[in-house]
A and B are shown apart, each in its own frame.
Chain A
Amino acid sequence: MNKLFFGILAILVAASIYTYLSEPEQQTGYPLIYWNSDPNPQRYEQIEMFSRWLEKTHPELQKTPGLPAFAVKLDTASNQSTLIQAVSGVGGDLLDFSIVPVFYAMGIIKDLTPYAKEGHFGLDTTYPGIAGLLSSYDGKQAGYPCNVAVTNFWINKKTFEKYGVKLPKEEITLEEFERIGKEFVKKANAGNPDKKVFFCSAASGFGSMFNLINARSQGMDVFNETLTKSTVNDPRYIAPMKLLYKWTYTDKILPTAADVASENVETGGYGGATFTHFIQGTYAIVVTGRYALIRFRELPKEEQIPLYCVQYPQSGKFRNMIGSARITSMYAATKDPNMTKYFFEFLASKDYNDHIIRGVDGLPPNPKFAINNPEYLKPPEYPNEGNVHANELKWAMELALPIPQTPYYSSTGRDWYVYALDKYLNDRATAEEAVKEAEDRINMAIQQTIRENPKLARQYAEDTAIQKKIDQYKADGTKIPAEWIKNPYYLKYYKSKDMLAEPERKK
């Protein structure tokens, strides 16, 4: 019995040693840093490119001839796993998120500000509209984008031509969108009682983006100027919600949730069935960004789609778009920050940005490599891609704003606004009831955060005091000091309305 026991013990010990020795670090002979990202095939190319770039730009780091100083290894965990690993102390050295400030506040992300200037990857090297996504609530740089997107309405010109519908202008209004949409579905579904050709796709998140952009176009955001209170219970939110309902269920220019559910999402390659519908012409418009070209360029040359893009239709005069990004951050418990920092330098480099430009994985993170670059603006092999490159870049520079976020309400859990919209579209509440519930719920969540977090409670007290002053200034028609405003949307909106008092310059 003893022999058996010790035999099994010996096997287990040997297996443990083998497992240790088979770890990548032990096998490669040089250090590795891990990057928690998505399993996009382009990531592997980017990792290989990073090794070449490091060797070329920082030869001094190399310790052993013939071996790289260190390398990056991809760890394709889901967002939730990434978060759980990170708070437990076993996250990758580089973490990808779509929103950084909330994770910075949790302490799992390192401040990149000390490295940014020296590595030339500061906030000034990327798009102004997404700076809010990359920095902490107190303005520290907490990440750098891998790629950027400003989703807009992509039109398949062939589908429009097929049904004899004229292309809209780039700055499309709600009325124009509805008129063309109705005309399109009428012509496209003539003689087809099932009405299965839609004017525009409506993938997950479309509704909340559409409402946000429209409310913003009329001067209203989800949160107030100091991010201390939700303000969605407002007619400027209700109107687009009602319109969305009408377009979906009455005019049928947008697919219903059931139509979207019917799409065969597990097949169809990158972008799923929505892109397939767009290619086939069952959706005339798809709401997407430049990354969609990864799929569209796979089509044979003769089947390439003639593209044209327009902005989100919006009612107000303050034209705006939503900027989003895949943001890489440095894990607070990274093995070696001095090694990891080079990856951010790489993300801002020409090599990486050229790769994004060629690979069409969104907009390049550093726009200077795209501006006035003919390879980006008009790729010679793809003349069918029309204005999509130039427009997305232009809108990213001029119109993009980040999605709203506040330190007092974490939308990593349930987004009550999306929930409210869902309730309304499922006839569980009127639009008025839905936005009221959303506002109440968000404000309740804010109050809960304040009760639970004394550090934030102090900051909240200061911010609410400032908010009172802002409200007073607005009522009086006085210009508001820019430093009081924490919401990036209001900073830009008030500036456009000349309502901001810029800080006095030191003499």
Chain B
Amino acid sequence: MLNLKKNDLKQASVGMLFLLPNILGFLVFTAVPLVISLFMAFTDWNLEMHNMFQTATVKSVGFGNFVKLFTDPDFFTYLGNTLFLMIGIPFGVAGSLAAAMLLNHDFKAGSRKLYGIIILTIVMTVCCMMLVLVGMASTAMTLLVCGIAGAVIVGGSVGGQTVYRTLFYFPSFTSGVATYILWKKLYSPENGPINNILQPILDWLTPIAARLSPKAAAGIAGVLLVLMGLAYAIAMFRRCHRWYYGECGTASVIIGAVLLIIPLLCAQLWSGLGWGGAFGFFFAAAGVIALIAMFFFGRDYKCVSDYGMADAIIIDGIIMIGLFILLGMTNVVLAMPAEATSADGFVAPKWLADYYWAKPSIMIMGFWGAIGSNNMLLYLAGLSGISQELYEAADIDGATPVQRFWNVTWPQLSNVTFFILVMSIMGGLQGGFEMARVMTKGGPAGSTTTLAYYIYTEGFGTGRLGYASAVAWTLFAMVLCVTIFNWKFGNKYTND
């Protein structure tokens, strides 16, 4: 039994009094609203009928709001939008790792690298000036962006690591709304710097593409589709190979395989080539058969089922996006001759104003934000924790830089990668509100409405607090699943 002296109790009560404002704040502004919102999720609470001026009482609807939610097509559309935006997560993770590795080098080392960077700076500055001279910088914004890019390179060359680390971390400590407004301007279809640079390139490509016959376009599209198949086969082989040699568990290989197969199955629906669907199905079926055969014959080097999960999700996730890009490219190539010979020729995307481009636009912006985020800091910390002895051993074995990365850096960072991945997925599920509110208002035609924005519009636009709470708690359940996944698989299997 706890034996506290009078003095201890007194000290404890004083301590509690100090903590009281914080605890009260937490209770009033977090804990109590949380409990109330859980209660609201099971009621018909609607601001139009249930507010301090109305006499109607809030009634329990049991699981009615949740039933409605799962039969509401909008919910699934917005969940789809949320998940679509999350496709960029593997790229964001890879980008932050690349940034961290880049920033782990000291650019101010006084070696030949510095001269290389200075030369690169001069070349880029000259390029920017040429862009301006040829009229590709018609707006002040383009000049500004070019100027900032030049300043970054010059600053980094002179100030070294510290300057770059500060600059790369900029997106994290800049106000979200300010960056969204800046990106909105960058995406401006007519005056934005992105299209100011892109449109002349497309104008240059238009006559070239116009000379392309439909048959030639189909041929190129076919080559791209074959490339997609090959990339899939190599990735699948890599995954199976890792499984066989005990570098990847059974659950991980299945998740990786699913990610790889998805684009091939989508080829059934989206491929513009007549044989694209059958081609995708053949490869997908071959992959499944190979997996079954592999599991049937077993392996010599065993490991636990979830070993290498982060690697599977990140690497195969990135390859999945690459496969989707190749699939999309086949359709782009097929459409090129007709588009090039149309009255307007190739036209730069309308970005946020276009239904089909709005989501990718937000994804690109998210990718930019992810590179210089806390993930980069976590990777930097992770990189500094890798023993130099491992690199020295790899050097003695004659490892190339690529081999050093795949066999030392990447496995040593697996716990950091896993944590980042899980946190990014949780952030992705809850994200998209500020972007939608500031940049698109959820449009065009609901294409950028995420679950977080949907909760807001239902709660404070329509006033259906009960239903909005049900959506919020469903979102919480999804986040909880990811958290449980993290508890179960996180912080394990780091190679010592």
Contact = CB atoms under 8 A, between A and B. Distances in A.
Given A87-B47, A107-B53, A452-B46, A5 B14 contact: yes
B190 A259 contact: yes
B51 A266 contact: no
B136 to A, nearest CB: 15
A228 to B, nearest CB: 18
**B contact patch SS:** loop
A80 B190 CA distance: 32
Interface in A75-111: 80, 83-84, 87-89, 102, 105-108
A2 B189 contact: no
Contacts of A196: 190
A17 interface: no
Contact of A428 (B44, B48, B351, B445): B445
Interface size class of A (residues with CB under 8 A): 35 or more
Interface in A402-433: 410, 412-414, 419, 422-423, 425-428
A414 B457 contact: yes
Contacts of B190: 196, 258-259, 262
B462 A106 contact: no
A450 to B, nearest CB: 12
Contact of B48 (A105, A257, A333): A105
B464 to A, nearest CB: 8
Contacts of B322: none
A349 to B, nearest CB: 29
A83 B461 CA distance: 9
B70 interface: no
A2 B46 CA distance: 48
Contacts of A190: none
A88 B53 CA distance: 9
Contacts of B355: 426-428
A2 B14 contact: yes
B481 to A, nearest CB: 29
Interface string A226-264: 000000000000000000000000000000111111101
Contacts of B53: 87, 106-108, 332-333
Nearest to A259: B190
Contacts of B443: 422
Given A1-B14, A89-B52, A262-B189, A257 B457 contact: no
Contact of A256 (B49, B353, B446, B460): B353
Contacts of B463: 87, 106, 410, 412-413
Interface string B454-496: 0001101111100000000000000000000000000000000
B249 interface: no
Given A413-B462, A419-B445, A422-B445, A106 B457 contact: no
Contact of B350 (A258, A412, A413, A452): A258
A453 interface: yes
Given A108-B51, A414-B457, A426 B14 contact: no
Interface string B435-451: 00000000111110000
Nearest to B49: A453
B52 A87 contact: yes
A258 B51 contact: no
A88 B446 CA distance: 30
Interface residues of B, number: 39
Contacts of A333: 52-53
Contact of A5 (B17, B48, B445, B462): B17
Contact of A84 (B44, B446, B460): B460
Nearest to B55: A107
Contacts of B457: 413-414
B90 interface: no
Contact of B353 (A87, A107, A257, A428): A257
Nearest to A413: B462
A438 to B, nearest CB: 12
Contact of B11 (A1, A87, A412, A425): A1
B192 interface: yes
A264 B181 CA distance: 11
B191 interface: yes
Contacts of B353: 256-258, 260-261
Q: Looking at A83, A333, A425, A452, which has the most chain B CB atoms within 10 Å of its CB?
A: A452
Interface string B22-62: 00000000000000000000001011110111101000000
A87 B355 CA distance: 35
B48 A106 contact: yes
A259 to B, nearest CB: 6
B297 interface: no
B188 interface: yes
Nearest to B68: A448
B18 interface: yes
A258 B443 CA distance: 12
Nearest to A106: B48
Interface centre among B48, B51, B56, B463, by most A CB within 10 Å?
A: B48
A177 to B, nearest CB: 24
Given A108-B53, A262-B192, A419-B445, A80 B460 contact: yes
Contacts of A266: 181
Contacts of A83: 47, 460
A427 B357 CA distance: 13
Given A259-B190, A422-B445, A413 B47 contact: no
Contact of B462 (A257, A412, A422, A423): A412
B211 to A, nearest CB: 21
Given A80-B460, A258-B354, A88 B445 contact: no
Given A1-B14, A5-B14, A80-B461, A106 B47 contact: yes
Nearest to B61: A452
B352 interface: yes
A439 B52 CA distance: 33
Contacts of A453: 48-49, 56
B149 to A, nearest CB: 22
Contacts of A410: 48, 462-463
Contacts of A105: 48
A335 to B, nearest CB: 15
A303 to B, nearest CB: 24
Given A261-B188, A427-B355, A413 B11 contact: no
B147 to A, nearest CB: 19
17 contacts: A2-B14, A83-B47, A106-B53, A196-B190, A258-B190, A259-B189, A261-B188, A261-B353, A266-B181, A413-B461, A422-B444, A423-B445, A426-B444, A426-B445, A428-B355, A452-B49, A453-B56
Interface of B: 11, 14, 17-18, 44, 46-49, 51-54, 56, 181, 185, 188-192, 350-355, 443-447, 457-458, 460-464
8 closest A-B pairs by CB: A413-B462, A107-B53, A262-B190, A258-B350, A258-B353, A87-B51, A426-B355, A258-B189
Interface of A: 1-2, 5, 80, 83-84, 87-89, 102, 105-108, 196, 256-262, 264, 266, 332-333, 410, 412-414, 419, 422-423, 425-428, 452-453, 455
Given A87-B53, A262-B192, 6 more contacts: A257-B444, A259-B190, A261-B353, A333-B52, A413-B461, A422-B445
